[in-house]
Amino acid sequence: MDQNKTSKEILLRMVKSFTENEVAPFDMEIDHTRSYVNDLLNKIKETDLLSTMLPKEYGGAGFDGSTTAEMINEIARGNASLAVTLEGHFKSIDQIVKFGNQALKDEYLPQAKSRIIAFSMTEPSGGSNPLGINSHAKHVGDKWIINGDKIMITNGGLAEIYCVLVKTAPEELSFFVVDKDMEGFEFGKQENFLGLTGVPVGEIVMNNIEVDESHLLGKVGMGKEIGDSAHNDARVLMGAVLTGIMEHELDIVTDYATHRKAIDTPIIQMQGIQRKIADIAIAKETTKLLYQKAAWLKDNRQDYEEEAAMAKAYGSRSAVKSGDDALQILGGYGYSLDYPVEHLIRDARAMELAEGTVEKMRTEIALIEAKNRA
């Protein structure tokens, strides 16, 4: 028996059944109440879904990037917020695994089983241009003293561990790992975002937080590199979230168009409707291929930055546009807060901003294309 293949199949069976029974039925309620009802946070801990890609030596399940992305895809089909909460945790684990020193790994990775980790770069002064940040860390003896204010953090308030980008010198960016239980750590205000409303997005304030040398992630000055790496890992998973959203859209429109009749003909017989449904399906499948390719490249230790950016840049606009088409297919009901379509548009729209705006991603894609030919 091929152990990897069998493990993956068992995981996906579990995630399908979990999504079908525990997540999808609560999709609307999660959106409306802006919270993970049905005790979902405990359920993802109990089933160890939080440890899906955590390496085995730290008590995790050790699944590869492709499997993890497919798992996120499946959950997003039930509810995109929960998938993004997991995505934020996984990409943070990824950076500690890649860049953390052994002491940091030994301290925090085993905790990742039950404590969510977040990744924080954006500040009130801006997200797209990291050198504009104000947070900083000062080396005092063998400690670092961290001060600053971080906003718009996925899982901010929910996460207990934060990877934070700070300046260690005027032109020098570095990452540190801080714990919510540290002296000087405070939660700030929660964002009142339009979509992905299940995901808490919030602020943290750091007031003279003192950490050991081991809490430096990577080396001094590696801030940009680590930030880019986190973006890449997050974008693969966001491609999976967006695929899940489009699958959810397809689930809704195919069912509706088959049952809704114009006089006596189901509207799925009409070419205008067919075209919209086909376009959603094409966009879904394209996004899926992009994120799967990016994940495959990542698992095989090849460059995946460009494919990851494509998956998110293409997938996010496509999912918004598909949501708009889905809304139109459902007519007036599509415009109702009592139907799920409108929140899928809001959810998808977040991913044109988070983890790098689509503008930034297009810049990256264009520069890579040019570089490949230089």
Partner 1 sequence: MTAIEENWIFAENDLDEINPVTFQLITKMNQISHDPVVVILIEKNAANLEKVLSAYGPDKIITIKDDALATGDDLEITDALANLIEKKGTPNTLIFPATVAGRSIAPRLQARLQTGLTADCLDLHFEGNLLIQTKPSYGDNIMCEITIPECRPQMVTARPNVFSSEKKINPNLEIETVSNIQWKKDDQLQIKSRVLLAQKAKDIKQAKHVVAIGRGSKTAKDIEGAVSLAKKLNASLGVTRPLTDLDTFTIADQIGQSGQTIAPDLLINLGISGAVQYTSGISNAKIVVSINTDKNAQIFKHSDYFFVGNAQEFAKSLEAIL
Partner 2 sequence: MKIVVGIKQVPETTNVKINEKTKNIDRRGLGGVINSYDLHALQAALAIRNQVGGEVITLSMGPDDFAVSLQETLALGADKAVLLSDRAFAGADTLATAYVLSEAIKKVGQVDLVLVGQQSVDADTGQVGPIIAEMLKVPQVTYADKIDAFKDHLVIDRKLENMEQTITAKLPILLTATDKANRPKYTNVVEIAKSFDKPIITWHAGDLDLDEKRVGQAGSPTIVRSISEPQKVAKKNHRLSNDPATAARELVDILKQKNILTEDK
Ligand X SMILES: Cc1cc2nc3c(=O)[nH]c(=O)nc-3n(C[C@H](O)[C@H](O)[C@H](O)COP(=O)(O)OP(=O)(O)OC[C@H]3O[C@@H](n4cnc5c(N)ncnc54)[C@H](O)[C@@H]3O)c2cc1C
Binding site for partner 1 (CB under 8 A): 259-261, 333, 338-339
Q: Spell out, one character per residue from 105 to 124, where the chain touches partner 2: x when CB under 8 A holds, - when not.
A: --------x-----------
How buried is residue 1: exposed, middle or buried, by Cβ count under 10 Å (0-12/13-18/19+)? exposed
68: closest CA among 80, 47, 46, 83? Answer: 83
- State the number of binding residues for ligand X (CB under 6 A): 27
User: Which residue is nearest to ligand X, using beta carbons?
Assistant: 127
Minimum CB separation of residue 198 from partner 1 in Å reads 19
Phi/psi of residue 17, each to 5°? Answer: -70, -40
Among 23, 30, 40, 49, binds partner 2 (CB under 8 A): 49
Q: Cα–Cα distance between 3 and 9 in angstroms, integer?
A: 10
Q: Quick one: what does residue 16 bind among ligand X, partner 2, partner 1, none, with the CB cut-off 5 to 8 Å set by partner type? A: partner 2
Footprint of partner 2 on 10-39 (CB under 8 A):
10-11, 13-14, 16-18
Footprint of ligand X on 206-245 (CB under 6 A):
none
Residues 163-194: b if buried by 16+ CB within 10 A, e if exposed: bbbbbbeeeebbbbbbbeeeeebeeeeeeebe
Minimum CB separation of residue 17 from partner 2 in Å reads 7
Beta bridge partners of 117: 161
Minimum CB separation of residue 258 from partner 1 in Å reads 10
Choose one: 167-175, 211-219, 265-273, 356-364; the region binding ligand X (CB under 6 A): 356-364
Beta carbon nearer to partner 2, 110 or 130: 110
Among 60, 78, 100, 127, binds ligand X (CB under 6 A): 127
Minimum CB separation of residue 259 from partner 1 in Å reads 6
Residue 291: which residues within 8 A CB-CB, separation 6 or more? 69, 73, 236, 237, 239, 240, 242, 243, 307, 308, 311, 315
Helix (H) or strand (E) holding 360: helix 358-373
Q: Quick one: what does residue 122 bind among partner 2, partner 1, ligand X, none, with the CB cut-off 5 to 8 Å set by partner type? A: ligand X
Helix (H) or strand (E) holding 284: helix 271-299
Does residue 230 contact residue 238 with C-beta atoms inside 8 Å?
Answer: no
Q: Cα–Cα distance between 263 and 214 in angstroms, integer?
A: 70
* Tokens 């990577």, residue located: 218
Beta carbon nearer to ligand X, 155 or 168: 155
User: Does 232 contact partner 2 by CB under 8 A?
Assistant: no
Neighbours of 81 (CB within 10 A): 27
Beta carbon nearer to partner 2, 61 or 151: 61
User: Does 338 contact ligand X by CB under 6 A?
Assistant: yes
Q: Cα–Cα distance between 19 and 74 in angstroms, integer?
A: 7
Q: Quick one: what does residue 154 bind among ligand X, partner 1, partner 2, none, with the CB cut-off 5 to 8 Å set by partner type? A: ligand X
For residues 105, 111, 115, 118, the Cα torsion angle rounded to the nearest 10 degrees is 0
Binding site for ligand X (CB under 6 A): 88, 119-122, 126-129, 152-154, 193, 196, 201, 333, 336, 338-339, 350, 353-354, 356-357, 359-360, 363
**Chain residues in the site for partner 2 (CB under 8 A):** 1, 3, 6-7, 9-11, 13-14, 16-18, 46-49, 51-52, 56, 59-63, 113
